[in-house]
């Protein structure tokens, strides 16, 4: 009898050992990195999240294998809320390394966002604020476009890189340096705009410089994406008829200031960018346009509109004739 008990205990011990080994192997497999490659990814939480939600998100971004295991580990460590902020993860991190960043709220400063419509001067300020690059060096290099001709993108010779730096979110750790920043942004323009849409540009008879110039005006004039193709159509219609574009944003760019209201005296400011005084396109872009404005120029709406005026909600009302345009202005002002 005793011998049978010993055999049973031995068998149970062996089973427990095997089960523990299997569990250990499973645990190791589920928590190890997904890849050996360093491929940093930005996870931006605009508001506080739950362990369950962040675990599911990281699984969808191919950063962890087992979202349930991460959720359990975070809760076991007493983490019931994940703080909002910017986090950086990579597939070469283990589940525990990722959890440690979330638990201790180690926010990253390696990523920077440049919104659509920013000028190179505003970008320079952001780079200085984040200690990514010296603003003066950045602006100085932006005045030397041909320095970056090796990237393969057609660049202006007598103008700055205004309009050519693609607005997006980039991984730019502190002290990246101005030249590397510019190269990174130009390579994105080359990849996302020039290569992808070269055939469309040629079919519309547009150079890259013309595309970015018109798109920059659309960017600064329009708040709502669904209106961008209509405003682009107005610009093309006025160019076709030889009418001055009369775009306020170009006047302000030439003045070197940005404000909500353009005064009548501003419209007389002598500048090559003043599209009230000069016909045709301004010399170059007045901001760095985003993809929505670029697409609007490549695929403008088919209209016979020649005028538009902004309403209080940021939308515009479009007109075909000057008389109709004046009536619209009176109606909007009367409504205010």
Q: What is the DSSP string of 242-287?
A: T-----HHHHHHHHT---S---GGGGG---TT-TTTS-S--SS-SS
What is the mean predicted confidence (pLDDT) over 268-282?
92
- Give a yes or no: residue 25 inside a domain: no
What is the mean predicted confidence (pLDDT) over 237-258?
92
- CA-based angle 169:171:172, to the nearest 5? 110
User: How far is the C-alpha of 29 from the C-alpha of 85, rounded, in Å?
Assistant: 29
In contact, 42 and 171? CB cutoff 8 Å: yes
- Give a yes or no: residue 41 inside a domain: yes
- Give a yes or no: residue 28 inside a domain: no
H or E segment at 17? helix 2-31
In contact, 27 and 68? CB cutoff 8 Å: no
How many structural domains is the chain composed of?
Answer: 2
Query: 215, 223, 153, 143: which is closest to 189 by C-alpha?
Result: 153
- Give a yes or no: residue 318 inside a domain: no
- Give a yes or no: residue 114 inside a domain: no
Residue 207: which domain range? 120-305
User: How far is the C-alpha of 114 from the C-alpha of 179, rounded, in Å?
Assistant: 16
Judge if 251 and 185 occupy the same domain.
Answer: yes
Give this prediction's pTM: 0.86
Among residues 108, 130, 162, the one where a domain terminates is 108
Among residues 59, 79, 108, the one where a domain terminates is 108
User: How far is the C-alpha of 328 from the C-alpha of 336, rounded, in Å?
Assistant: 12
- 153: DSSP letter: S
Judge if 134 and 219 occupy the same domain.
Answer: yes
Q: Which of these ranges, 9-23, 167-181, 309-323, has the smallest mean pLDDT?
A: 9-23
CATH number at residue 37: 3.30.1490.480
Judge if 163 and 93 occupy the same domain.
Answer: no
Q: What is the pLDDT of residues 25-80, one digit of tens each?
A: 776 788 889 888 999 999 999 999 999 999 999 999 999 999 999 999 999 999 99
């Amino acid at each position: 009898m005793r011998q049978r008990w010993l055999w049973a205990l031995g068998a149970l011990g062996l089973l427990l050992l095997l089960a523990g080994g299997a569990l250990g192997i499973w645990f190791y497999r589920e928590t190890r990195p997904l890849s050996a490659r360093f491929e940093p990814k930005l996870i931006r939480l605009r508001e506080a999240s739950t362990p369950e939600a962040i675990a599911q998100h990281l699984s969808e971004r191919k950063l962890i294998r087992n979202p349930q295991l991460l959720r359990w580990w975070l809760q076991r460590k007493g983490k019931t809320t994940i703080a909002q902020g910017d986090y950086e993860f990579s597939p070469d991190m283990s589940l525990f390394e990722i959890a440690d960043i979330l638990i201790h709220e180690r926010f990253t400063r390696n990523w920077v966002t440049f919104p659509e419509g920013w000028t190179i001067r505003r970008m320079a300020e952001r780079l200085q604020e984040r200690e990514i690059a010296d603003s003066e060096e950045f602006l100085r290099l932006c005045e030397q476009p041909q320095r970056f001709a090796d990237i393969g993108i057609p660049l202006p010779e007598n103008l700055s890189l205004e309009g050519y730096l693609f607005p997006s979110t980039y991984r730019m750790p502190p002290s990246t340096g101005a030249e590397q920043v510019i190269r990174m942004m130009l390579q994105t323009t080359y990849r996302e705009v020039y290569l992808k849409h070269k055939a469309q540009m040629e079919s519309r008879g547009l150079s890259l410089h013309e595309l970015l110039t018109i798109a920059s005006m659309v960017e600064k004039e329009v708040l709502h994406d669904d209106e961008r193709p209509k405003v682009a159509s107005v610009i093309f219609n006025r160019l076709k008829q030889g009418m001055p574009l009369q775009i306020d944003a170009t006047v302000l760019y030439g003045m070197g200031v940005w404000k909500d209201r353009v005064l009548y005296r501003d419209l007389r400011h002598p500048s090559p960018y003043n599209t009230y005084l000069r016909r045709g396109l301004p010399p170059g872009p007045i901001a760095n346009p985003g993809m929505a404005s670029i697409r609007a120029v490549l695929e403008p709406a088919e209209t016979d509109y020649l005028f538009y005026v902004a309403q209080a909600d940021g939308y515009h009302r479009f007109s075909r004739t000057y008389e109709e345009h004046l009536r619209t202005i009176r109606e909007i002002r009367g409504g205010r």
